[in-house]
Chains A and B, each alone.
Chain A
Amino acid sequence: MGNLQLVLAISLFTPLITGLAVLLFNNRKNMRDICGPIGGIITFGSAIAIAMAIIDGQTISINLWQIVPGIGLSFNVTALGALFGIVASGLWILASIYSVGYMRGSKAKNQTRFNFYYAVAIHAAMAISYSGNLLMLFIFYEVLTFSTYPLVTHGQTKDAKDAGRLYMGILVATSLLLFLPALLWVWIISGTLDFTKGGIIPFDFSPSLLPFLLAMFAFGIGKAALMPIHRWLPAAMVAPTPVSALLHAVAVVKAGVFSFLTIVVYIFGIDFLLESGAAVWLVWLTAFTILTSSIIAITKDDLKARLAYSTISQLSYILLGAALATQAAIEGAALHIIMHATAKITLFFCAGAIYVNAHIKKISELDGLGPKMPLVFIAFFVASLSIIGIPPLGGSWSKFMLMVGSVDAGIPIMLLVLGISSLLNIYYLLEPCTRAFFKPSLKEIHVDNHILTIFPPVITAILSLLLFFAVDWVRLLTTLMVIP
């Protein structure tokens, strides 16, 4: 086993070992809660090392044996996978610190069980990012669904159980009805499922069936929350905020769009998809999703629900990039994974901090809260700007690349869609901040000060800013995806 394979194994299994350590330290709270950050740092370090090696042009893979001819038990790091691995593991460090503050601050029960499944979910996310073929990706996609179910239903109230049922129902049903058959279809027509740059679908595959196959993937990957299969995402917001933050803003939904982007780049091949025109319908559906969910977000007064619909809208940016299938658009989609993850986790961190420290969930009750929690609201503001796409924040790059991509693809009307979406973003994301800072408070609100819930969003907000300047480094990875 070479050094790089060892690093890969470390990054895959550290989260799992962390989960077991959490179980082991069930009775010693401080030991238990330090496991997450330590595991996060180790995983993140190895994810960085893997990305460096990929940029160097090395291949990192672990191949065990073949399950059936053409499908092996294998991990093989793609450029996109290396990027997603960094996102998931890096944000896990902060999220695990934050969840200690949040869970202790809100005096939640069953914290050990919570931390265990949290770590298992990260394991699944890491395994998704480093999967060597579509079947491995599918397996860990399901592991991610099942390991997040106890997290969504953590409150064990009736609401939580109903939401959990909807969550499982949509995600499992779509994956078994569409994703799995689509995957087998690909295996049957191409004899393999390995991720290969340029795609594996044979060029003589019937052009009339290609949009159909693409649709099976687009709707089968329910985690990407493309309308009309987005309902599980707002429902899952009953979960504690650290779950919404890491999983339903980062790991789970990003695993969804990551899977789809991987399929477009490494299964279909972008040139093949672009020439066939099989994804044009998807461009329009994503445009519809972007605008509709933004409009729904405006109507939501619950802060987490508003963020959830904003997430649906932003996920479709990434799907849009995949569907446009030009080089710039694909790069924009990949960049948007990291940019949106950083910004959206900040917003959720802030929402959770507001809830734990001031016990407020509704936007209409935020009036005058700004001066009492300045750091939280400044972080919220910065992250909002990043999502809107204003320089010098990370989100501006990905939006810019997507715009270039839509012009390249000959669908310039998408510029208009993206523009309108930005306007809507301004409206619904800046409202909480303006209320908090410029409206007088109506009643006296007692504000706690759980420090562990406050500094993670500040750090991620700073990260959003830094990513604007570090984009060249990220692009070392994303260009590897698209340059033949």
Chain B
Amino acid sequence: MLILNNIPALLVAIPLLASAVVSVLPSARIAWGVAFVTTLCCLYMAFELTEIVSASLTLSYAFGGWEPPWGIAFVVDGANVHLVLLVAFISVIATVYALTTLKHEIAVEDLPKAYAVWLLTIASLFGLSMTGDAFNLFVFLEISALSSITLIALGAGQDRRALLAAYNYLIIGAIGATFYVIGVGYLYAATGTLNLLDIIERLNEIGTNQAAVTGLAFMLAGIMVKAGVFPVHIWLPAAYSFAPSAVSSLLSAIATKVAIYYLARLLFGIFIDTTHLIDLFLLFVLMPVSVIAIFYGTIAAIYQIDIKRLFALSSIAQIGYITFAFSINTHSGISAGFIHLINHALIKGALFMAVGIFAIGIGQRATMNSLRGVGRQMPITFTGFVIAGLALIGVPLTAGFISKLYLFKAIFETGNGIYVAVIAVSSALSVLYLWKIFEVMWLQEPLQPLKIEKEPVLACVSLWLLVFTIIIFGIYSAGVSSYGMNAANALIGVR
């Protein structure tokens, strides 16, 4: 019972403690073992958490017995319970993947420290997805930024450009965090509290307030940097393409997603919008920006030679889909956004994993030239890669189709058919770059004879776990779609 009662705290505390332990371990193998067991424990607790929350709808956990609004509270409700599960699930799979891939990319003596930072990142992502306190969120934001910057910089063993990417992320991330904390300051000045639920109540009492509006604007801007929303995404492509492949798949799958979740919470949860400022923001800022992101990301990806950078750019477009769904500003729009949030995490995680396996197989960066004919030599990975790629397009029987379907539904309900064309055209464009990769990998002959290493078993297992999840979510969508519904219910009320 002690465990069950304290799951929200333990989800952060256990990886945090394990991280400290791992950093002093002598052997990489033992370090990985501790990290793996830790993530497994987190997955178990995340499952327990879903059961608890499905029974009681909202779980508020007060740290140290200090009741909110005085103490720090973790809040788990319909909007984030499955996000926590997603973070836990991806952590386990990415950790399994890391065992056989990370040693190719990082010096062996650095591995224990890498796993320590790895766990720190995971702890901070759990914290970000559960905290109900605006300032506490800032703390987790910083932990997550610094730890993921370290992980990205570890890619420097492969390619020195990783350092520049990490540095860019550091600077831009710091600016984003500053914006966020300034916003928190304004909101605190206006309401005298930092607890999000309490802020909502206070704002209800005092009505619209200039300081609160300003604060919210700053917070939104800061979070959008973290979420990789166009045009403040500029740190993202380089960071994901030069990080070690396990790091790319972990971060691309869940790091931005957590920020996007919090963006939705800020947009729909906080303000009782008497002046329709949020409505105006959604309609005149977020929607056009999302449409531009969708086309920019997709078209930039078409002309990209480097595969990891290509998928990083496609992430910009996919994040655009999610924010676009939010900007529709209806119940079905919000749930479509959350559905795509989950599905895209699985798809993009799988794609980065597959690209990482290819890169290890050929012993160099994966590009349109170096991957020629590789598909025939690494059929297991290639098949998984193709399925994940099809899911990215939104082909039926994959999770990506379910996303598209609910997104279409949300658009049709608004009666504004022009946006159907946006989605249809952009997914047809995404066929172009994926088809190009498939063709290069399957049909073209390699420039010089390939010396392919055997496909690492554990990495393939983790890739295929994600691929199976993609297929299962594609043919049986009830779970994901009910999460979307619950999230929208939690944010804007039951419809």
Interface of A with B (CB < 8 Å)? 65-68, 73, 135, 138-139, 142, 153, 168, 172-173, 176-178, 180-181, 184-185, 187-189
Contacts and interface: CB of A to CB of B under 8 A. Distances in A.
B44 interface: no
A168 to B, nearest CB: 7
Given A67-B476, A185-B412, 16 more contacts: A65-B475, A67-B396, A67-B397, A67-B402, A67-B474, A67-B475, A68-B477, A135-B396, A138-B396, A139-B395, A176-B427, A180-B424, A181-B423, A184-B405, A187-B405, A188-B409
Given A67-B477, A68-B405, A139 B397 contact: yes
19 contacts: A65-B475, A66-B478, A67-B396, A67-B397, A67-B475, A68-B402, A68-B405, A172-B428, A172-B435, A176-B424, A176-B427, A177-B424, A180-B404, A181-B423, A184-B404, A185-B412, A188-B408, A188-B412, A189-B412
A181 B428 CA distance: 11
B420 interface: yes
B106 interface: no
Contact of A184 (B395, B409, B425, B474): B409
Contacts of A184: 404-405, 408-409, 412
B481 interface: yes
Interface in B384-409: 393, 395-397, 402, 404-405, 408-409
A67 B405 CA distance: 11
B475 A73 contact: yes
Nearest to B476: A65
A178 B424 CA distance: 8
A181 B424 contact: yes
Contacts, number: 58
A280 to B, nearest CB: 23
A187 B427 CA distance: 19
Q: Chain B: interface secondary structure?
A: helix
A173 B405 CA distance: 18
Interface string B435-467: 100000001000000000000000000000000
A181 B397 contact: no
A181 B395 contact: no
B25 interface: no
B305 interface: no
A187 B408 CA distance: 10
Contacts of A178: 424
A290 to B, nearest CB: 29
A367 to B, nearest CB: 40
A178 B428 CA distance: 10
Nearest to A168: B435
A181 B431 CA distance: 16
B480 to A, nearest CB: 10
Contacts of B396: 67, 135, 138-139, 142
A287 B25 CA distance: 79
A142 B424 contact: no
Contacts of B476: 65, 67
Contacts of A68: 402, 405, 477, 481
A73 B477 CA distance: 12
A211 to B, nearest CB: 14
Interface in B464-490: 474-478, 481
Closest 10 CB pairs of A and B: A184-B408, A176-B428, A188-B412, A139-B396, A181-B424, A177-B424, A177-B428, A68-B477, A181-B420, A173-B428
Given A68-B402, A176-B427, A181 B408 contact: yes
Q: Chain A: interface secondary structure?
A: helix
A178 B477 CA distance: 24
A172 B405 contact: no
Contacts of B393: 176
Contacts of B474: 67
A40 B481 CA distance: 41
Nearest to A184: B408
Contacts of B425: 177
B473 to A, nearest CB: 10
Contacts of B435: 168, 172
Contacts of B443: 153
Given A172-B431, A180-B424, A181-B424, A142 B395 contact: yes
A184 B405 CA distance: 7
A189 to B, nearest CB: 8
Nearest to A150: B443
Nearest to B474: A67
A68 B485 CA distance: 13
A286 to B, nearest CB: 25
Contacts of B412: 184-185, 188-189
A180 B395 CA distance: 10
A395 to B, nearest CB: 36
Contacts of B424: 176-178, 180-181
A189 B404 CA distance: 16
Contacts of B420: 181, 185
A142 B394 CA distance: 12
B429 to A, nearest CB: 9
B428 to A, nearest CB: 4
Contacts of A67: 396-397, 402, 474-477
A250 B404 CA distance: 32
Interface string B152-165: 00000000000000
B390 to A, nearest CB: 9
A184 B481 CA distance: 16
Interface string B305-340: 000000000000000000000000000000000000
A142 B397 CA distance: 12
A189 B415 CA distance: 12
Nearest to B431: A172
Contacts of A135: 396
Nearest to A174: B428
A16 B474 CA distance: 22
A187 B412 CA distance: 11
Interface in B357-400: 393, 395-397
Contacts of A142: 395-396
B431 A176 contact: yes
A398 B412 CA distance: 40
A173 B427 CA distance: 10
Contacts of B481: 68
Nearest to B396: A139
Contacts of A172: 428, 431, 435
Contacts of A180: 404, 424
A181 B427 CA distance: 11
A131 to B, nearest CB: 12
A479 B443 CA distance: 47
A413 to B, nearest CB: 34
Nearest to B425: A177
Contacts of A73: 475
A43 to B, nearest CB: 23
A172 B393 CA distance: 12
A176 B427 CA distance: 8
Most chain-B Cβ atoms within 10 A of its Cβ — which of A66, A67, A177, A189? Answer: A67
